[in-house]
Chain A
Amino acid sequence: MADVMRPEKLDMSNDTSSLGSPELLHVLAVDDSIVDRKFIERLLRVSSCKVTVVDSATRALQYLGLDGNHSSVGFEDLKINLIMTDYSMPGMTGYELMKKIKESSAFREIPVVIMSSENILPRIDRCLEEGAEDFLLKPVKLADVKRLRDSLLKADEMAFKNIMHKRELQANDIYSQLKRAKI
């Protein structure tokens, strides 16, 4: 009697939750300037994003549960698709915030974009080297956000295609095995 492959062995999980439909990216924005917070929030909302805005790197870490005051319980369901942070902030800079995010297993895959009003090449290089998805010069424009969003959605689309391709391969593999077992 052939050994029937039960579904749970196949790792065919339906987790495409990073895509969701419609494409509502959840962005965490960090900026110490009240004017810029208002501005970036509106920019993102107009670009069909869900937005959470905080006024410091410390608060961002609190929001993500990375401030050492929490266990990771309760934060696995937090779906953030993008973090946009100002570079120059009192206390912890956006650069330091990004490093902390990249150190965390839960959030290191989330793209981090750094914003700055200062066009300092060594700074830009350092941010990109540390893993920043992009570096935006302030004042940020609608076109910048649109470009970001499009490239993130494209990356998601690629990831989705890869998942589907993988499933196809797995399905073919199972089919071959069943054939060989002469079912």
Chain B
Amino acid sequence: MELVQMQKSLQDYTKSLFLDGVLDSQFLQLQQLQDESNPDFVSQVVTLFFQDSDRILNDLSLSLDQQVVDFKKVDPHVHQLKGSSSSIGAQRVKNACVVFRSFCEQQNVEGCHRCLQQVKQEYYLVKNRLETLFKLEQQIVASGGMIPAMELGF
């Protein structure tokens, strides 16, 4: 594929993530912090997010599987995930966490289980999308091209 075509694909793909609400403007903040001196900043932060989230989701599953659910343990985990997803712009994950927290507040075990499924779904979605995005970027860089700056006019 031609370089220009790849760059256009990347832009279209990124744009679709914003239009679908998978990412929000905070992701643009991340991109703004990336430059020649720190060319992998976004992927580094996102990788940390994946590692951290995997850990948190695991802990959440364990906590909710207990005979007696300790909501004092569950809520901080959700709060953490809400925070980190918000920091990278993973909007749908963040929103799912907000709903999750309200069920924690109500001490609704059934509701929390449903929320966990929802959070996991959104998380795997954004993970998948971002991994695709990074692959597209790598292809462009490997072909000697530059990653086009994101245009905000949409």
Contacts and interface: CB of A to CB of B under 8 A. Distances in A.
* SS class, residues of chain B in contact with chain A: helix
B45 A88 contact: no
Contacts of A36: 83-84, 87
A148 to B, nearest CB: 16
B98 to A, nearest CB: 10
* SS class, residues of chain A in contact with chain B: helix
Contacts of A30: none
Contact of A46 (B33, B48, B82, B87): B33
B87 A42 contact: no
A42 B84 contact: no
A141 interface: yes
A18 B52 CA distance: 38
Interface string A12-47: 000000000000000000000111101100110010
Contacts of B87: 33, 35-36, 39, 138-139
Interface in A67-123: 88, 90, 117
Contacts of A34: 48, 52, 84
Interface residues of A, number: 16
A92 to B, nearest CB: 15
A35 B49 contact: yes
Contacts of B76: 90
B80 to A, nearest CB: 6
Contact of B29 (A88, A90, A141): A141
B79 A88 contact: yes
Nearest to B44: A38
Contacts of A46: 33
A139 B29 contact: yes
A51 to B, nearest CB: 13
A90 B84 CA distance: 16
5 contacts: A33-B80, A35-B88, A42-B45, A139-B29, A142-B32
Interface of B: 26, 29-30, 32-33, 38, 41, 44-45, 48-49, 52, 76, 79-80, 82-84, 86-89
